Amino acid sequence: MKKILLFLIFSVSLFAYGQNEQLPESILHSFNVKFPQVKSFDDWEFAGEVYSIDFYRAGTMYTARFNNEGVWIETGEIISDSDIPSGLQSYAKKNYPGLPICYCEKVEKSGKQFLYRVCIRNDTEEIFITSDLSGKNIMVLEK
């Protein structure tokens, strides 16, 4: 009897855990509407009230971000360090010497606005540096 009870508890907890790991239907629907040509995604996470969904298209990795209501916020295309504008590269090297770049992305926001974002990590935080497409209008956000 104890084995049956333990099995039932284990089964219910696995079911509950699996339910928590599902992307909410509203977010999945919004993703499918925004990217109908993408048939599957690689991974997703929820942080700071934003759902981030990683997917590949034509061999390139993208991250689409949606708010709690399923409204698209932005999509970032992962790019190499050498693809960011020289002004942004110079700023990062000058102001954060020796710190590794975690990733770089070209970001599309609503209204067809584009920017570049670089993530730099030190021992305690991630630092996000953005610029317009020309590498000017640089902004820093420390998280």
pLDDT category at 14 given cuts 50, 70, 90 is very low
pLDDT band at 55 (very low <50, low <70, confident <90, very high): very high
Contact criterion met (CB below 8 Å) for 40 and 55: yes
Q: How confident is the model at residue 67 (pLDDT cuts 50, 70, 90)?
A: very high
Percent of the chain scoring above 70 in pLDDT: 85
For 72-121, the pLDDT digits (tens) are: 999 999 999 999 999 999 999 999 999 989 999 999 998 889 999 999 99
Cα distance between residue 49 and residue 95, in whole Å: 30
* Cβ(130)–Cβ(139) below 8 Å: yes
- C-alpha 120/C-alpha 101 separation (Å) is 4
pTM, two decimals, is 0.77
